[in-house]
Structure 1
Amino acid sequence: MNQKWIIPIFVFFLLIISITIYFSTGLQIESAWAKKDSEFIVTPKKVWEISFSEKVDPSYLKEPYIFVTNEHGKQVKILVSRGSGPKSILISPPIEGYQSKMDYTLNINRKFQSIDGKELRRNIKILFTVKETVPVVSSR
């Protein structure tokens, strides 16, 4: 093999390995519904459970890493706690519940970390509208 090809081939393989490592590391959301860019209709007492690919660091279960804003951009008081396992969290509504007929955004900052120090790759925004009753979808 001609030596002029060795360096470009080596660089190519380094690039492939770097891309593979970049996309295989980092904390990821495992909850399928949270990966979609869609809006949700929820009741005023909705508790969100979000699962991650790794065990979450409990010191990040607070602002500015996780917060909810109303349609006017004002933050509302929520409670963030561990979920059913070490890889999940619960986001509980304000004591009085979310205000009906109002839009909210659940925000998870990309700086949110696992116990191994891995961060999310991007900020997460989950849009939801609050209604007193949620429509039932029939499977018929």
Structure 2
Amino acid sequence: MKKKLVALCALTFVGIGSYVGYSTLTKDNDKQLDIHMTQSNVSPNKEWVINFDHGINEKIVNEKSIYVQDEEGNRVPVSLKISDPQTLIVKSPNGGYQKGKTYDLYINRDLDLEHVGNEKLPKQYHIQFSTM
């Protein structure tokens, strides 16, 4: 049940049609629009499981295309794992995220093979989450 919930959350922000009712458009530092979502009471050991219907653009899977920042804007040392051609896992840092803190997960649009270079879509997806 937990895996289905995580997969559903991931599909919600990756799927174009599914984010319309749940997201708002905001401006990032580069003045590009992004898709913003918020989650609270996230486990300090949260592993984000992101499913891409049409596959992952493995050429750009790195710390520049998907990353986590803390409240001060510092990068958090998460690890990335491709578990299959359509699933990317963002593992929490060693020791987990700090309890009671807020973090930001950024995912480049071009990681999704379906949306590579689609300038009509926002450049990135943004999930702000706070730990319990």
Which interval holds the TM-score relative to the shorter structure?
A: 0.5 to 0.7
1:89 aligns with 2:69: no
Q: CA RMSD in A?
A: 2.4
Counting only pairs closer than 5 Å after superposition, residues 112-127 of structure 1 correspond to structure 2 as 112-114=111-113, 118-119=116-117, 121-122=121-122, 123-127=124-128
Q: In 1, Cα distance between the equivalents of 2:85 and 2:100?
A: 34
Q: In 1, Cα distance between the equivalents of 2:56 and 2:68?
A: 19
Displacement of 1:99 in angstroms is 0.7
Counting only pairs closer than 5 Å after superposition, residues 101-116 of structure 1 correspond to structure 2 as 101-114=100-113
Q: Deviations over 1:72-124 (max 9, x none)?
A: 111100111113x311100001011001110001001234352x882463210
The structure with the greater share of residues assigned to helix is 1
1:130 aligns with 2:131: yes
SS in structure 2 at match of 1:32: helix
What TM-score does the superposition give when structure 2 sets the normalisation length? 0.66
SS in structure 1 at match of 2:109: coil
SS in structure 2 at match of 1:72: coil
Contact preservation (8 Å) 2:52, 2:112: no
- Identity over aligned pairs, percent: 24
Q: In 2, Cα distance between the equivalents of 1:44 and 1:68?
A: 13
Structure 1: gaps spanning 5 or more residues:
1-28, 132-140
Structure 2: gaps spanning 5 or more residues:
1-8, 24-36
Alignment size in residue pairs: 101
1:42 aligns with 2:42: yes
Q: In 2, Cα distance between the equivalents of 1:109 and 1:86?
A: 17
Q: In 2, Cα distance between the equivalents of 1:39 and 1:117?
A: 22
Q: Deviations over 1:48-79 (max 9, x none)?
A: 00111211122322121000001111110011
Q: In 2, Cα distance between the equivalents of 1:119 and 1:81?
A: 23
SS in structure 2 at match of 1:59: helix
What TM-score does the superposition give when structure 1 sets the normalisation length? 0.62
Structure 1 residues 128 and 73 mapped into 2: Cα distance closer, same or farther (>3 Å)?
Answer: same
